[in-house]
Amino acid sequence: MGRLGPITAHVCRAASSRHIEHGSGVEFALKRTHRNPIGSFRFQCGTLDPLSWKNPRQRGGRMSGQGQRLNVVPTVTMLGVMKARLVGATRGHALLKKKSDALTVQFRSILKNIVSTKESMGEIMRNSSFALTEAKYVAGDNIKHVVLESVKSASLRVRSRQENVAGVKLPRFEHFVDHGAGDVKSDLTGLARGGQQVQACRTAYVKAIEVLVELASLQTSFLTLDEAIKTTNRRVNALENVVKPRLENTINYIKGELDELEREDFFRLKKIQGYKKREIERQQQAAKNFVEEQYAEISLRKGMSINSAHNLLFVGAEKDADIIF
């Protein structure tokens, strides 16, 4: 402190004891320089922040701690509002947790179905490819053009619907056969040769399409559920780690402020009581002094003291006998 000089030492003592007044025009804050971090200080004009005297990590911790509550007025009404919000946040957290659990169960079920469907899809696609190869070998390579000419529109169609699982709408795809869309000529395809292989190939590919539609439905539901679970978990974590602690800290802050106000009111009442008591005593003492002054003034006028007058009256009353009686 001796190396800093008397003025700097005085400012350092004032800063350490927090005697620098806030809002006094030009305020000084001491900061350690980066060039000479051992003991040199410099002045910086600006607002005096008591947190700047401490470690930056401590400053960050305090600022983050202050941000963990809402900026509200500490009143009884606001305390009721915060308690109601905390009850709502708790109920919402419980509901979202149940929703997340239900979606997770459905997610795992869909994942098992996807795995089993993909395992069976390999065998089905291999059988359909072999059936197409057999049909081409028996009926010839022109069988593809013959099939395309004999069919005007597809009889196997896909329709979509939505399934609600815990508030999440999952798309579902279903295949169905439109009997009116097909042509009668398709049944006569390969009548000359290879008709049986063509029908077997058609059956194999219908089965393959059914598996593909089922797999597409499962994978679409899988992706939708994955996104819904992530969103729900983010909400659950936000309620659990941000909203509820912030509301609880706000409630504790309001309770502390209300208790402090109650203690201040009690202390104020005690001070007022003491002041009134002292005032009554002072008035009584003043009245007593006034009476004594009046007695003293009367005694001075008569040339004797009040005690002497009282004594004379008492002695005269004892010596004077009643003459008549």
Domains and CATH numbers, the chain: 2-66 (no CATH), 79-253 (1.10.287.3240)
HSE-up (13 A, CA, CB side) for residue 188: 5
pLDDT of residue 237: 93
Is 217 exposed, middle or buried, given 0-12, 13-18 or 19+ CB atoms closer than 10 A?
buried
pLDDT digits (tens, 9 = 90+) for 3-30: 444 444 443 444 444 444 444 433 333 3
Rounded (5°) CA angle 262-266-270: 170
If we measure between CA atoms, which residue out of 227, 248, 3, 217 comes closest to residue 117?
217
pLDDT of residue 302: 64
pLDDT digits (tens, 9 = 90+) for 119-178: 888 888 888 888 888 877 777 666 666 676 667 777 778 888 888 888 888 888 887 877
In contact, 165 and 102? CB cutoff 8 Å: yes
- Supply the pTM of this predicted model: 0.55
pLDDT of residue 19: 41
Low-confidence ranges of the chain (pLDDT < 50): 1-66, 184, 188, 191, 313, 325
pLDDT of residue 231: 92
pLDDT of residue 60: 40
pLDDT of residue 230: 93
Kindly report the three-state secondary structure assignment for every residue of the chain: CHHHCHHHHHHHHHHHCCCCCCCCCCCEEEEECCCCCCCCEEEEECCCCHHHHCCHHHHHHHHHHHCCCCCCCCCHHHHHHHHHHHHHHHHHHHHHHHHHHHHHHHHHHHHHHHHHHHHHHHHHHHHHHHHHHHHHHHHCCCHHHHHHHHCCCCCEEEEEEEEEECCEEEEEEEEEECCCCCCHHHHHCCCCCCHHHHHHHHHHHHHHHHHHHHHHHHHHHHHHHHHHHHHHHHHHHHHHHHHHHHHHHHHHHHHHHHHHHHHHHHHHHHHHHHHHHHHHHHHHHHHHHHHHHHHHHHHHHHCCCHHHHHHHHHHHHHHCCCCCC
Alpha-carbon distance values, 223 to 7, 170, 174, 219, 309 (Å): 70, 10, 18, 6, 115
pLDDT of residue 65: 42
Q: For residues 173 and 175, what is the distance between their CA atoms, to the nearest angstrom? A: 7
Q: Which residues pair with 173 in a beta bridge?
A: 160
